[in-house]
Amino acid sequence: MRRSSGGTQLSSVDTAEPVHTPVSSALAKKEKAPRRRRGGLSIQSKLLIMLLAVSLVSSVIIGVIGYINGRESLREAAIDQLTTIRELRVGELESAMKGVQDGVALDSRNLSAQTASRAINAGWDDLQNRELTPEQLAELETYYSDTFNPALAANSGGTYSDAAFIPDSNAGKWAQYHFTAQFADFDEALTINDGFDGTPYSAATAQYGDYLTRLVGTVGYEDLLLFNVDGDVVYTAYKGVDLGTNVLDGPFRESALADAYRTVIATNSVATVETTDFERWIPSLNAPTMWVLSPVGNDSEITGVLAAQVPIAQINDVMTGEERWKEQGLGDTGEVYLVGPDHLMRSVSRVLLEGPEEYAERAIAMGTDPDTAARIVEVDGTVLLQPVNTISVENALKGETGNSISTGYLGGENITAYSPVEVDGLNWVAVARIDTSEAFAPVVEFTRTLILWLVGIMLVVSLLSLLLAQVFTRPIKKLVDAVRRVAGGDLAVQVPVGSRDEIGDLGSAFNDMASSLRIKQELIDEQQVENAKLMHTLMPENVARRYKEGEETISEEHDNVSVVFAELVGFEEYADDLSGDRETSLLNSLMRGFDEAATKAGVEKVRSLRGGYLASSGLIVPRVDNVRRAVDFAKEMRAVIKRFNSQNGTEIDIRAGVDTGTVTSGLVARTSLAYDLWGDAVSLAYRVRSVTGQPGIYVTQAVRDRLQDSVTFARAGTVELRGTAQNVWRIE
């Protein structure tokens, strides 16, 4: 009877923990509970986002790379085209000027020019001995006061005296009276070379003037001047007021033409060619004029100098491409122009030719004097009038060749290609420019096209991604539905496995899991029947039923609790010969010793049995060192037994099991309100104490791991809990 009683108590500890709420009941409750909607994105949405992100990012990266490369290529192409046009224009200009220079050099050295020079010079010397009558001189002054000076003032804005340009020499006055003052029309003057005064000079000009004027007509010179070696202008094709003047001491002695004449005469070589920059030439009514000069004569004698006036129109035709800008790749805003060292233009502006009013507005807006802008529009030319102070001109005047994006001379952002012009005697630079908005229009169009393509690709990718996401997630949705059916208690559900990929593997794994759950549920159901039978042996049927349903039960789970289960060894044999009172007295003495040891060690007593003792550490009062306290308590129990043996002459001992982990405590059953402790830690503590059958203190692996540095252990064997082998150690 005593052993049966003890066994019953021990069985209650061993079997109390495994009793759980049935799985079927849990599934039923879960099925009744409303399903909470999952927050966040679905797999289909995530997959769609992933596909879209990868595709769109790739498209954007490719588009950006293409845009950068395409933009740079188009920009470089625009700049290269502008540079090529500038090179063509400059090459054509240099070739044209070289042709003029070579032509003047040849014309000045041929026999006709030499013969004409000697004859006209001889006639000029004869005129030095002839004087005008007072009436003739008055007529010459009247020509200046009534005809030339008013026209000059209208073009130059200055005022001049009537005698300002009348030569000092007799020959000069004679020539101007009989030639210059007789013609109000330049074109008429070009055709008449005879002064009809019977002088050798008129005879010479009548004889050789036709040759000289033919050079103007055939070659295209604006005018042609013939000097003698003394600096006198002995002949001009248009018989202007420069006829008869002396460039060494006359009214035009400070002109670029006079400087070039001095240079040519000083070389004393018929191979010399000198070119002047544009200057305002009063005999041409203050119009911009440039000259090419070369000595007349041969290697043995120089008789004079031939000066050809280069027409502005010839230079403008070269720089404007005869105003065919579009056909030559300059679009609607491009042009090529020349600038001199004074930062003034040496060729006409395209904007002026195409829109004088727009030109004036833009020029004034950029700081050009309004009077200058008005004069430019009036004369329809920008040579020596329009200032150009741009970065491109500055760099080119330094001898540099290159391109830039900068503000143009009329405002606005321009692409420019610039370089010096290599013409002897000139310090010009050429600038080709075009508005950036036009030059980079292909870049803008390319960008627009690229964006449209990217948008189209994004739309196609979005549709494909949506379709692929649905295809990929369709098996997953079927699997989710099957999982929900299992969660609802249908353990017989299976999903079709139609693919040989990870989704197929997942379906197979689910089917295996569902089959395993079904088998385990059957085993659990069988175990529940056995548990119900066992429970009915421990408590009344109605209490077991209510406990099974979870009613009238108060319980609490505790983590990190150490459990000590001690069993007396040898007390049964010793008590067989004792009376009931004596046995109870001795047993109570032992239990009091255990209780005192528990209090001393800081261990909580759970309950005492006739043949054993159950205690815990860290249950009521959480303790960091609960494992150490539990082991110390077990050791102290053996000390209590040792003292008991010495006092009573007995040979009693204990087998104690110690484990640590999670336990559950509570009040079980309403009628008796028995306080109990259960859980894996309790079960292990109960089981490890009997692993060898010998007295001693036995601990689990978890206890050894916590105390291996302070306590000596010896391996005692293993026990199995929930299908897992647990090592058991004995404290030495």
DSSP 216-264: HHHH--SEEEEEETTSBEEEETT--TTTT-BTTTSTTTTSHHHHHHHHH
Residue 671: the pLDDT is 54
- Name every residue whose Cβ is closer than 8 Å to that of residue 55 and which is 6 or more positions away in sequence: 458, 461, 464, 465
Give the pLDDT confidence score for residue 531 in this predicted structure.
67
As a whole number of angstroms, the distance between CA 722 and CA 663 comes to 16
Chain-centroid distance of CA 99 in Å reads 53
Enumerate the β-bridge partners of residue 414. 406, 435
Token pair 């070009």 in the structure block, residue = 190
Under 8 Å CB-to-CB from 218, ≥6 apart: which residues?
none
The distance of Cα 282 from the centroid of its chain, to the nearest Å, equals: 61
Q: Which residue has the tokens 């601990």?
A: 699
The reported pLDDT for the residue numbered 370 is: 94
Give which of 248, 338, 262 is closest to 293, Cα–Cα.
Answer: 262
Cα R_g (the chain), whole angstroms:
61
Give the 3-state secondary structure of residue 38: coil
Burial 65-88 (b: 16+ CB within 10 A, else e): eebeebbeebbeebbebbbebbbb
> Which residue ranges in the chain fall short of pLDDT 50?
1-33, 536-543, 670, 673
For residue 604, the tally of other CB atoms under 10 A from its CB is 17
The predicted structure's pLDDT at residue 186: 78
Q: Which domains does the chain have, with CATH numbers?
A: 110-303 (no CATH), 315-440 (3.30.450.20), 550-731 (3.30.70.1230)
CA separation (Å) from 610 to 359, 539, 575, 693? Answer: 122, 20, 11, 19
What's the pLDDT at 28? Answer: 44
Long-range Cβ pairs for the range 395-398 (8 Å, 24+):
396/339, 396/420, 396/429, 396/430, 396/431, 397/339, 397/341, 397/427, 397/429
What DSSP line would sit under 285-301, residue for residue? TTEEEEEEEEEEE-SS-
Q: Look at strands 724-731 and 429-435 and give their pairing.
A: unpaired
Residue 281 phi, psi (nearest 5): -110, 110
In the structure encoding, which two tokens stand for residue 618, read together? 């860290």
- Distance (Å, whole) CA 149 – CA 251: 14
What count of Cα atoms within 13 Å lies in the side-chain half-sphere of residue 320?
20
Q: Half-sphere exposure of residue 547, counting CA atoms within 13 Å on the CB side? A: 23
One-letter amino acid for residue 110 of the chain: N
How remote is the C-alpha of 657 from its chain's centroid? 71
Contact status, residue 497 vs residue 524, Cβ threshold 8 Å: no
SS3 call for 714 = strand
Hey, what's the torsion of the CAs at 444, 447, 449, 454, to 10 degrees?
-160
- Alpha-carbon distance values, 690 to 188, 633, 716 (Å): 146, 18, 10
Question: 368 burial class (0-12, 13-18, 19+ CB within 10 angstroms)?
Answer: buried
- What pLDDT is attached to residue 547? 60
The pLDDT, as a whole number, for residue 509 is: 84
Beta strands in 374-474 (DSSP E): 402-407, 413-420, 429-435
